[in-house]
Amino acid sequence: VQLQASGGGVVQPGASLTLSCVVSGRTDSNNGMGWFRQPPGKERQFVASISGNGRNTYYDDSVKGRFTISRDNANNMAYLRMNSLRIEDTAVYFCTGRAPGYYSGSYYPSDYSYWGRGTQVTVSS
C-alpha cells in the first residue's frame, strides 16, 4: 500500500488549503486513516483521523473547528481541508493508513501501518 499526499504550499495567515492523499496498491477502503504533521524541529503530531466509513472523525484541539478530514472510498482518496491557517500550522503533513481490519481512526502514530511522503505547508506573512 502506498500513500501520497499533495496540495501543500506557501500561504498567508488566514488562507485555506486542501491536502489530498491518494492510496494505491492493495487497498482496503474501510481502514482508518489519519493526518499527522511535523513542524520544524519538533516531533510528529496528530492532526485528525477518520474511520473507515467516514462517520467518526477526531481532531487535535489545535485544529478543531478549522480543519476538516474527509475521505472518498470509491476513489481511494482522503482529504484535509485547512481553513484559517496560522503560522504555527507550518509543518510537513503526512497522510496515514491503518492495516486491514482496523476500521477506526487513532491518535497514536504507532497504530498506523502505512505512511506517505509528506507535503510541506508553510504559513507566512
User: pLDDT tens digits for 20-76?
Assistant: 999 988 666 689 999 999 999 999 999 999 999 999 999 999 999 999 999 999 999
Helix (H) or strand (E) holding 117: none
Helix (H) or strand (E) holding 85: none
Cell of 97: 493508513
d(Cα 123, Cα 125) in Å, to the nearest integer?
Answer: 7
User: pLDDT tens digits for 28-38?
Assistant: 668 999 999 99
Tell the residue number behind the cell numbers 482496503, with chain if given: 28
Classified as helix, coil or strand, 91 is strand
